[in-house]
Amino acid sequence: MKIKNGFQMILGIVLIISILFAKTTAPRIAVIATGGTIAGMGESGTVAGYVPAKTPVEELLRAVPEIQTLAEVTGEQFTQIASQNMRPDIWMRLAERVNTLLLTEDTDGVVITHGTDTMEETAYFLNLTVASAKPVILVGAMRPPTSLSADGNLNLYNAVAVAADPAAQGQGVMVVMNDEIHAARDVTKENTTAVDAFHSPVFGPLGYVYYGDVHFYRRSARIHTTASEFQHLIVNQLPEVAIFYGYAGFDPGILSDAVDGGVRGMVYVGTGNGNPNHETTDRLTDLSQQGISVVRCARPGTGRVTLGAEVDDAQFGFVVADNLNPQKSRILLMLAMSQGKSTSEIQQLFFSY
């Protein structure tokens, strides 16, 4: 009886210690800073002009001390640029750094501060190349910290809250802006200056975060992160892919000029259902037969590009983008081409990712 009671006492002590440890162990979130408006500085709170990418990560974190109540937060300055200067080589280095952090037990999630101009592109690239189910959140600001009613501090607080929330596991890379949680594949910037510039126009947000209170309502159905075949990307350089915006009277001569300049893949943003004019269709067909990968995308911004509806894609050797926007179609095409995918294989990727 004494042995049994002693054993129960030991179990009780172990249970109490485990509970106390669980309560005092906060999620460990790494904040990677890349610049952008969230790190910008202006002359005053009422002047529209400002210089992005000026404030270092240490100051960004000090400005929001409340995030330390959400998680154990550390910061590193990865780069310091306005996001219109983002490039594929920086994406590849960033993906490598994120993967390295998430492989360790010391990091439970990553928040990346980023300029808004190309945030959706960086998010989608990471969505295809991060090899972890741990949360990766991109966050930025539409107003610099020096502005009246600056939005960056609350956006950063909410981003850390999402990264620290267990429900964010396995959701893929996300963008947190203006109290909304968006899937990297679906989100796009739809306004030049408004605080609510980011939307997922087809499917809506994954969820909402209100002063750190996180609620998810759906999951992304497309392949990402741990299920992606690009999660262990090993290339020195991605193929050059260009985007061409179609319009009435588009001159296809520019397409051949681009190939002469080194372009190996094209995303053609056609009118209506992604339609090129007759002359452009002929030129794109010639280029496709020469080994140039061609993806048809659509100008309207929402809706699917239908395979073979008005264009005989199978005959011409084209790929349709489904409902992926032009800038993200370019990313998926670059990754597919880097792996030597055939036209039919690339088409399947656009229906899956």
What domains does the chain contain, in order, with CATH numbers?
26-227 (3.40.50.1170), 241-352 (3.40.50.40)
Joined together, the tokens standing for residue 135 give: 């949360």
The structure's pTM equals 0.92
Judge contact between 341 and 349, C-beta under 8 A.
yes
Residues facing 183 on adjacent strands:
174
Please report which confidence band the pLDDT of residue 334 belongs to, taking 50, 70 and 90 as the band edges: very high
What value does the mean pLDDT take over residues 91-118? Answer: 97
- pLDDT, residue 235, reads 87
- pLDDT, residue 21, reads 46
Residues facing 330 on adjacent strands:
none
Element (H, E) at 209: strand 207-210
- Examine the pLDDT at 201 and tell me if it is beyond 60: yes
- Examine the pLDDT at 43 and tell me if it is beyond 80: yes
- Examine the pLDDT at 28 and tell me if it is beyond 90: yes
Please report which confidence band the pLDDT of residue 302 belongs to, taking 50, 70 and 90 as the band edges: very high
| Known catalytic membership, residue 37 | yes
Nearest to 333 by CA among 324, 86, 174, 273: 324
Measured between alpha carbons, how far is 275 from 246 in angstroms, rounded to an integer?
A: 8
Measured between alpha carbons, how far is 248 from 96 in angstroms, rounded to an integer?
A: 42
Residues facing 72 on adjacent strands:
28
Please report which confidence band the pLDDT of residue 15 belongs to, taking 50, 70 and 90 as the band edges: very low
- pLDDT, residue 209, reads 98
* List 24, 25, 34, 37, catalytic entry: 37
CA angle, residues 209, 111, 150, in degrees to nearest 5: 60
Instruction: Calculate the CA 93 to chain-centre distance.
Output: 15
- Examine the pLDDT at 20 and tell me if it is beyond 70: no
Judge contact between 164 and 109, C-beta under 8 A.
yes
